[in-house]
Amino acid sequence: MILLWLLIGLLPPTLTGWLLLRLLEGRTPVLFSAERWILGFVLGITLTMFMTFCANVTHIIVFTRWGFASVQITLTVILGIARLLQWKLTPHLNLNINPNPNPPLRPLWKIILALALLWTLFKILSGTLILASTPAYFDDTLKNWNLRAKIFVQTGSLDAIPDAVGNVSPLAGYPPTVSLTKAWLSALSGGWEEGIINSIHVLWFLAALLLVYYGLRRRTSWPWALSGSLFLASLPLYFFHGVNAYADVFVSAHLFAAVNLLWVALTEHDARRRLSFFRLSALAGTLLIFTKNEALVLYLPLLLAILITGVVFLLRSGRLNMRNATEILTWYAGWIVLIALPWLVYKWTHGLTFGNAKAVSGTVMGWQPGVLRTFGINIFFEGNWHLLFPVLLLLIFTRAKTALQSSLASLLIFVVAALTMQLLLFLFTSLSAEALRQTGIGRGFVQLAPLIVMLIILWVREVFAE
């Protein structure tokens, strides 16, 4: 029953996402067929919920079954017609992208990969069973993601959430995508069923694993790509977030999509394919705004900085002309205006904060003792990340110069800059309390984990190729 409601509930947003991605690719399809559906699922839900938010705050709909459905039907019909026109007007293209060739693999490695895959699937299945059949337990699920969903579906609107004594909760400043998705599934199924409401998180987790697979598959053979997904799923904290009703794996899938598409665009040699990737990355990058607050204040500025630097570099190297550069920046600007503007206007008019449950404006600056030590313990001496960070640091210290001269440069710069910014935020602001209690550190790493894993896999492969 859970599966049926999920299927019915997620099909329209996924179709919306697929249609939009296909429209953006235009005459140059660049995504793998399966990758397009997975990206369609991830970005389609967020886009649909953003449009639902817009329709609600403009009093066009309330959050009822038909309120949600009307937005989804409208979007699907509009994009479907657009896609039909595109299909009629442009030559019919083969959507199958030729993946990298697969070198022969030793039986030992096949066995290791098969066992690791079975072990991972067993863990995911067990975690899913527990998530779908036990009460919500962890704090942010109870006081944020699920509670807000319940409020949305019961009040039918985005009314600011009051706390126990009637004050406006700072949680109302979080983008509502995750909670709206749950509210939609609840409205659709006609009740509050924890199994349905929480299972969506496992699908975001699986989507992130598969996006990493296809992200790697674009550059490597299937064993390396599969290893990347398995390594990511093996990270205890990432895995645990994947099978619990938290939003950071959801953010990680969006962040991976945005950065991966931008990185591929910057390193693509074919001009038409490059433009196609840029158009896709503009959508994925901008939708980050509607995932969590840190995406707006931390990741998007970094993404835009890399975009502008990359475009300038491509212009100077003659691989991009001014017309194409303008087109790329227009796509980004257009999506930002379309998505950031309504959300920011809503936040300002409702007096909502921009920090992560704490207002950015209230942040106190200054050196925060103990944070560096806590970071060290979290990434090196606890059971959260296996050997992910030692391997990353080893590669950075021994191979950074080579990597910065290779196609990995922009990916490496994004990962290092994002990690550094997080570290600096905790080291020099009053957000340090989140670090010292270890409530904030892990979330940022969860969001970046897919990118770090992809970087490491590609880097290690390069080292071996030498």
Partner 1 sequence: MRLRLLFITLSLLALPLLAQAEDQTVLRLGDTAEQRQWGTKSLQGVLPLSNGIRIQSVKAGAITRPIGLSHSIDVIEIMYVSPTGGTLSFVWRKPGDQANQYYQLPIALKPGTSSQTFTLVPGAVGNWTSRPVGIGFQIPAGVDITLNTVTLRGWSSGEKLLEAVRCFWSLDTFKAHSINFFWGPLLCSSPQARENLYQRQPPAALSGMRVIYGILILGALIFAFLYWRRRDRWNSGTFLRRIAFVTLALWLVLDIRMGAEHLRNWKTDVDSYLTKPIGQRVFRTIRFLPDFATASMGLLKDQPRYVLLAPTTDTIMNFMRYQTFPSVPVNPEDGSGASLWFVYERPDMTIDSQGRIAENGVPLSPPGSMVHEFMQGTYIFRVTPPSDSPVPQLKVSGIRTQP
Residues of this chain that bind partner 1 (CB under 8 A): 116, 119, 123, 126-127, 129-130, 133-140, 142-143, 146-147, 150-151, 154, 164-165, 231, 234, 236-237, 239-241, 244, 246, 377-378, 380-384, 386-387, 390-391, 437-439, 441-443, 460, 463-464, 466
Phi, psi dihedral angles at 269 (to 5 degrees): -90, -30
Q: How far is the CB of 137 from partner 1 (least distance, A)?
A: 6
Give least dist CB 381 to partner 1, A: 4
Q: What angle do CA 253, 255, 257 make, to 5 degrees?
A: 70
> What is the largest distance, in Å, between two alpha-carbon atoms of the chain?
65
Complex with partner 1: residue 135 or 369, whichever CB lies closer: 135
Give the residue with the Cβ less far from partner 1, 18 or 231. Answer: 231
71 vs 247, beta carbon nearer partner 1: 247
Q: Which is nearer to partner 1, 162 or 351 (CB)?
A: 162
Beta bridge partners of 162: 168
The answer to whether 51 and 68 have CB atoms below 8 angstroms apart is no
CA distance 440 to 374: 11
Shorter beta-carbon distance to partner 1: residue 222 or 240: 240
Comparing CB distances to partner 1, the nearer of 41 and 224 is: 224
Question: Is the separation of the CB atoms in 90 and 28 below 8 Å?
Answer: no
Residue nearer to partner 1 on the CB measure, 263 or 459: 459
Are the CB atoms for 26 and 86 separated by under 8 Å? yes
Residue 246 or residue 256: which is nearer to partner 1 going by CB? 246
Contact call for residues 314 and 320 (beta carbons, < 8 A): yes
Least distance in angstroms from the C-beta of 426 to partner 1: 14
Task: Name the DSSP class of 163.
Answer: -
At 139, list the tokens: 């704090």
Minimum distance, C-beta of residue 356 to partner 1, in the bound complex (Å): 14
Would you say 100 or 234 has its CB closer to partner 1?
234
CB atoms within 10 A of CB 184: 29
Tell me the closest approach of the beta carbon of residue 382 to partner 1, in angstroms. Answer: 5
Q: From the CB of 217, what's the least distance to partner 1, in Å?
A: 21
Q: Which two tokens stand for residue 113?
A: 């990969």
- Taking the complex as a whole, how short is the minimal distance between the CB of residue 429 and partner 1, in angstroms? 19
User: How is residue 346 written in tokens?
Assistant: 């809503």
- Stated length of the chain: 466
How far is CA 86 from each of CA 22, 92, 165, 401, rounded to the nearest angstrom? 9, 10, 54, 45
Report the distance separating Cα 157 and Cα 59, nearest Å: 9
Place of tokens 């930002």: 336
Q: How far is the CB of 384 from partner 1 (least distance, A)?
A: 5
Nearer to partner 1, 86 or 234 (CB): 234
- State the nearest-atom distance from the C-beta of 412 to partner 1, in Å: 19
CB of 258 to partner 1, least distance (A): 25
CB of 187 to partner 1, least distance (A): 16
In angstroms, the CA 15 to CA 189 distance is 20
Q: Can you give 258-297 as a three-state secondary structure string?
A: HHHHHHHHHHCCCHHHHHHHHHHHHHHHHHHHHCCHHHHH
Contacts of 123 (CB under 8 A, 6+ apart): 233, 239
Residues whose CB falls within 8 Å of the CB of residue 101, separated by 6 or more in sequence, listed in order:
221
**Coil/strand/helix, residue 185:** helix
Q: Between 348 and 380, whose beta carbon lies closer to partner 1?
A: 380
